[in-house]
Amino acid sequence: MTEAKVPEEVKELIKIDPYLEPFTEELADRCYLADRWLDSFNEHEGGLLKFADSYQSMGLHLNNDNSITYKEYAPNATAACLIGDFNDWKHDEYIMSKSSTGKFSITLPPKSNGEPLINHDSRVKIFLTLPNGEKVARLPAYIHRATQPPAEYNNPSYEARFWNPTDKYKFKNKRPNLPHSLKIYEAHVGISTPEPKIGTYNEFTDNVLPIIKDLGYNTIQLMSIMEHAYYASFGYQITSFFAVSSRFGTPEDLKRLIDTAHGLGLRVLLDMVHSHASKNVDDGLNMFDGTDYCYFHSGGKGNHDQWDSRLFNYGKYETLRFLLSNLKYYLDEFQFDGFRFDGVTSMLYTHHGIGSGFSGDYNEYLNPFAPVDKEALAYLMLANDLCSQYSDENNCTITTIAEDVSGYPTLCLPRKIGGVGFDYRLAMSIPDMWIKLLKHKLDDEWDMGNISHTLSNRRYKEKCVAYCESHDQALVGDKTLAFWLMDAEMYTHMSVLSPLTLTVDRGIQIHKMIRLITQALGGEAYLNFEGNEFGHPEWLDFPRIGNGQSYHYARRQFNLIKDDLLRYKFLYQFDKAMNETESKFNWLNTEPAYVSLKHEGDKLIVFERANKVFIFNFHPTNSYTDYRVGVNNAGTYRIILNTDRVKYGGHGLIDEEKSEFFTVNSEWNNRNNYIQVYIPSRTGLVLALECEIN
């Protein structure tokens, strides 16, 4: 295809990635589908943000005169009424009217004393009549509060509640500015306590936020926030999308958590699940109006067989209203700073990524006949458009991250040049690599070339969030990196009063090296799952029938870092030092590193990034004196981070006060100069020019 034939709207893409040139027409067509929706919203709704304000009219709302309006989309129903505690669940009053667009609505006048007819936190449902005469009760789709009945009711289905507190939370702190680089702490409120119980928003605010701040992370990614009836689903089987999980506390408690985080300079991202929904009927969206296609695809297309869940129809107007207003609701009402979109691979492809590998061939993604769900792709573009427009209108920066394992091209390039618009994608191949190495390879079999390639292999100008392990690697059936390294002795030899064994020593040293090289080489942002920073000793398993409903493994033992006699403190202090050093010297969110050495025999990897020199000796036994390392910039180098420091559980083999490395003006490993360093076994070093340190 010649330059003249390239559609104007995607010309910039070709400059970034010339391999996209054969697919420019298809890329333009895919953008056009989203742009057509934008045109429709501009014409009929006052624009995308106004369309996303639909949460302010859909569902239950208190008006200034204390009347209550309720609007619900249920096109298949022939009649509807609002029922609840407020009218003793009677079905013959508060009858709703239906519009030509399939929406039922009603306005409830206040009581004679002027108070709202529905009391705060009282139960409500919509009672629908279906064409065949069947009567069904549903939880309002836009409900802001859903709770589980007391155990003695013997009813697991959640109940909708009208949330209208008199003492609404008022935010005190502004959203923090976007930091130079994201260092993300992935967390689950319910497991964030050492006690075997469900933790609360308030406990997280008081006990965990100070730890996150102390560790040097600047962003929190909260999981399992949207209401899910099944706790063991890890929050990925959503039943009420506009309700925050009541098992952790109230919406006001979550607002306090986010506001407090903002006061500490921490941004908060929401793990957003728009890839699928719970199959629950009684307390979910499934079969809401008696059909399986109210918000979802009908038939097999609307079911995810592996996840046993329902799949949204992203080409439907009211589905877009529901999902886009769901995003804006969390931005407006809770002041989240962005979203990590779950299951993007499932959304992008008609096969949902099931049984399909991705070789990286562009035809797999961009051929007009490739199995891409173009309506879902358009929705993802619209979601990023919304976040971008919201950022501009509110003078802030809303961040979006895609969980995509497929490597879809242009996913993290701006919408204005023809990309999908995400800021980052998760580098999902990295944790897989580390787990495979620890499971299947001896230390002297580690392939330095494969490690450096996996860490540095990403699409040009598309930013990645690097991580060693996330919640996925912590789940039962797998092991955390610390557990793979030390599980045989973590319960017996983690005390400083016991002898340091070879297993524990190896585990501590490799754990630090894996984290440092992943952060420095693997992406433009970094993520850690809570507890893994200090080598949490156990997997994660939620209470379920299979484990006797036990909470023993559904917790994070933060008490371990408070015990000065345990070696967990060394890993904690290293993680803190790594983040603090990065914050000072900024190697994340810079141009990719230049890897100058991958030596299989010596087990060394050397690279430069942001004018810093990173040296990793993975050899299990060999240390090297006067090891020659190529560097591009001349000058005197000093150590700014050393995994072998005693305070990080190392052996203190390097005298850093006397360690100055002077460049020799001679090419080495394709670099202009070289230095000679002492690099002990299982040690990672970061060097900086002396002029940058002072």
Amino acid at 37: W
What is the Cα–Cα distance from 48 to 39, expressed in whole angstroms? 9
pLDDT digit string, tens, across residues 634-693: 999 999 999 999 999 999 999 999 999 999 999 999 999 999 999 999 999 999 999 999
Comparing CA positions, the residue from 222, 230, 212 lying closest to residue 278 is 230
Which residues in the chain show pLDDT less than 70?
Answer: 1-5, 476-477
Half-sphere exposure at residue 150, Cβ-oriented, CA atoms within 13 angstroms: 2
Instruction: Name the pairing type of β-strands 146-147 and 159-162.
Output: antiparallel
The tokens for 545 are 């029938």
* Interatomic CA distance for residues 692 and 669, integer angstroms: 24
For the record, the structure tokens of 232 come out as 């063991």
What whole-number distance in Å separates Cα of residue 316 and Cα of residue 531?
41
Return the pLDDT at 28: 95
Predicted pLDDT at 1: 37
| Torsion, CA 57, CA 59, CA 62, CA 64, rounded to 10 | 10
| The pLDDT value given to residue 176 | 98
d(CA 577, CA 644): 12
Between the alpha carbon of residue 405 and those of residues 339, 364, 429, the distances in Å are 17, 13, 7
Among 252, 250, 256, smallest CA distance to 173 is for 256
Q: Which of these, 626, 627, 634, lies nearest to 666 by C-alpha position? A: 634
Amino acid at 416: K
Structure-token match 């549903």, residue found: 138
CATH for 594-693? 2.60.40.1180
pLDDT at 164 (0 to 100):
96
Integer angstrom CA distances of residue 158 from 228, 243, 309, 449, 545: 9, 11, 18, 52, 19
Predicted confidence at residue 443, as pLDDT, reads: 96
Distance CA 48, CA 37 (A): 9
Q: How far apart are CA 211 and CA 234, in angstroms?
A: 23
Burial of 102 (0-12, 13-18, 19+ CB in 10 A): middle
- Residue 603 DSSP code: T
Q: Report the catalytic residues.
A: 342, 403
pTM for the model: 0.97
The token duo for 672 is: 């202009």
Domains 53-162 and 594-693 belong to one CATH topology: yes
Name the residue ranges covered by the structural domains of the chain.
1-44+312-426, 53-162, 594-693
Q: How many CB atoms lie within 10 A of CB 92?
A: 9
Enumerate the β-bridge partners of residue 683.
Answer: 617
CATH number of 53-162: 3.30.565.10, 1.10.10.10, 2.60.40.10, 3.40.50.720?
2.60.40.10
